[in-house]
Amino acid sequence: MAAEARVLGHGGVRAVARAAAVSATTVRKGVFELEAGEEPLGRVRRPGGGRKRVADLDPGLRPALLALVEPDVQGDWMSPLRWTVKSTRVLARELTRAGHRVSADTVADLLREEGFSLQANVKTLEGSQHVDRDAQFRYLNEQAREHQGAGQPVISVDTKKKELVGAFKTEGRQWRPAGDPVPVNMHDFADPKLGKAIPYGV
């Protein structure tokens, strides 16, 4: 912008500032730097420039967020499993209501920094949330803590894949007499009597 303003001559600073929608002071400062022969910074802003992060401006934001999503009693930082059933939009709304103005994107960034991850889709077609949802996670947390405390390894395996039961096509091949493949159903519709198998408790 400074180089363009110099080429335009008188009135160039104002014209460039208007065209670029920036302050004329910014363009004028660039012209001074250009004429002084200063080396480029190699970055858009000077160190320390730019808008401060919301979490830095509001030190109470992070603790308030963690209080909303802690899986166990508040303040328990030793819980090995961490999850939240609230969306980032809902969390942002609750935090804003509590006096911490924050966007859903910032909430997602803070959760990632704290070791959280997006775990599952919201199930809305099967009715309301199961009453035992929290209980099962608390149970898993207790089991994980007990085994870790005893020096035993803890392996978490989430198995929700459903398999059709019956004569259905599967991936892979097996050795058979030539020209004699195993016949299977043409369509992958669940058998009304056999249904589906869901690996559970692995």
95-138 confidence digits (pLDDT tens): 898 898 888 888 888 888 887 765 544 444 445 566 666 777 78
- Same domain as 58, residue 31: no
Structure tokens at 126: 């099967």
Q: Given this model, what pLDDT does residue 49 score?
A: 62
Residue 188 domain flag: yes
Return the higher-pLDDT residue of 141 and 78: 141
Residue 131 domain flag: no
Q: Given this model, what pLDDT does residue 131 score?
A: 66
| Domain coverage including residue 73 | 54-113
Residue 177 domain flag: yes
- Same domain as 81, residue 32: no
Per-chain mean pLDDT for the chain: 76
Residue 47 domain flag: no
Tally the domains of the chain: 3
79-96 residue pLDDT tens = 555 555 577 888 888 889
Return the higher-pLDDT residue of 51 and 75: 51
- Same domain as 64, residue 21: no
Residue 138 domain flag: no
Q: Given this model, what pLDDT does residue 150 score?
A: 94
- The answer, as to whether pTM is greater than 0.85, is no
- Same domain as 76, residue 25: no
- Same domain as 105, residue 64: yes
Residues ≥6 apart with Cβ < 8 Å to 71: 79, 81, 82, 83, 84, 137, 138, 141
Maximum mean pLDDT: which of 42-46, 56-60, 146-150: 146-150
Residue 29 domain flag: yes
What number is the average pLDDT over the span 58-87? Answer: 66
Maximum mean pLDDT: which of 53-57, 93-97, 125-129, 153-157: 93-97
Question: Given pLDDT bands bounded at 50, 70 and 90, which one contains residue 152?
Answer: very high
Residue 23 domain flag: yes
Rounded CA Rg of the chain: 30
Residue 18 domain flag: yes
What number is the average pLDDT over the span 152-180? Answer: 76
Q: Given this model, what pLDDT does residue 85 score?
A: 58
